[in-house]
Amino acid sequence: MIGKLITGRSFGGCIRYVVQKHDAVILDAAGVRMQQVNQIINDFNLQRKYNPNLGKAVGHIALSWSVNDTAKLNDEVMVDLAKEYLQKMKIQDTQYLIVKHRDKDHPHIHIVYNRVSNTGKTISDNFQKQRNVLVAKELTLKHGLYLSPGKEQVNRQQLKGQDKVKYELFDAIRSASKKVKNINELKEVLAKQGIVTHLKYKSGSTEVQGVSFSKGEYKFKGSEIDRSLSYARLSQAIGDQQLKPEKSLADQLREAIRNAEQERSSQNRPEQTTYLKPEPETHYLKQALSAGSDLLGGLLGNIAEEDDGPERKRRKKNEQDQSRGISR
């Protein structure tokens, strides 16, 4: 889902373009009659008189969806999405007209609204472009609609006018920014392609606050072309590129060969297991002797007691009898 916002001065010209387009269909409206073009124009202009000092009272929004969403979008769904979009954009309590066009392959509608509210107050257009991007993405994700993968995937051949120039600028700036060291070099490279770079300076200083690009009759702020082309982000991208230069093909090949050799070396190296060598039996006997005769005697005594057979028992009994004076 993509929203394109325009403000203007003439309800007559905007309404005629939207309503009298070939195969145009009015889907919904609020605060205006829908029977005749002149009635619609008169109703918008009547409310406009409540706030005569507002020059650009005409609000015009084009909402479009991917051709991949065609099966999901009938007239009722598109009207519901348009109303939800207006509510999130804080365009409320005012007249509007929703018209479907069928001159493109992808589904799209036009919304005309009065920037003079029903109470005569001005509907602000501050930060609308930034809010539009966020709201369009939010609704796309919320309703499971197709999300474009980025400007790189857009079919340039089908673009015309302002959109065509905007994408030409996007491609040229992105390509040139990868080859330069600073903004001044970028200006020179783009100038050779017929693109003029306009730097905006802070009042009374040489501090750059923003950048715009123009080609032919069209001029856009860098952030309008793409958020990555604002002055701050563009400068950072060019600076980061200098800090981290891209490796040459030769360096990449050397690194690949080095990694392969290290991996091969580690695979061919035999595993080494350390085993403890058992000590001979005499080792433990030597330990006992070195500890002293008492220890040795104790050890031998224990061995004798464990070997207490029948002959040993008989001798021991005779010794006991003789000590008591018993003869056999």
Contact (CB, 8 A) for 112 and 18 = yes
Contact (CB, 8 A) for 215 and 205 = no
CATH class held by domain 2-148 = alpha beta
pLDDT attached to residue 270: 56
Instruction: Quote the Cα angle for 227-122-58, to 5°.
Output: 70
Q: What is the DSSP letter of 71?
A: G
pLDDT attached to residue 303: 43
pLDDT attached to residue 239: 82
Q: Is the pTM higher than 0.85?
A: no
Q: How far is CA 173 from CA 200, 209, 237, in A?
A: 17, 18, 12
Separation between Cα atoms, residue 183 and residue 170, nearest integer Å: 16
pLDDT attached to residue 116: 98
pLDDT attached to residue 147: 78
Sequence-ordered list of residues with C-beta below 8 angstroms from that of 154, at least 6 positions apart, any chain: 148, 167
pLDDT attached to residue 325: 59
DSSP E strand stretches across 164-231: 196-201, 208-215, 218-221
Q: Token pair of 133, please?
A: 């991007």
pLDDT attached to residue 242: 62
SS3 174: helix
Domain ranges of the chain: 2-148, 156-243, 281-310
Contact (CB, 8 A) for 37 and 19 = yes
Strand partners, 260: none
Sequence-ordered list of residues with C-beta below 8 angstroms from that of 221, at least 6 positions apart, any chain: 210, 211, 212, 230
Separation between Cα atoms, residue 98 and residue 304, nearest integer Å: 113
Q: What are phi and psi of 190, to 5 degrees?
A: -70, -35
Give me the amino acid identity at 253.
L
Q: What is the pLDDT along the chain (328 residues), one digit of tens a residue?
A: 888 999 999 999 999 999 999 999 999 999 999 989 999 999 999 999 999 999 999 999 999 999 989 999 999 999 999 999 999 999 999 999 999 999 988 999 999 999 999 999 999 999 898 899 899 999 999 999 987 666 666 667 777 888 889 989 999 999 999 999 999 999 999 999 999 999 999 988 889 999 999 999 999 999 899 888 999 999 988 887 665 545 555 666 666 677 767 766 666 655 554 444 455 555 545 554 555 544 444 444 444 444 455 666 676 667 666 666 554 4
Q: What is the DSSP letter of 101?
A: E
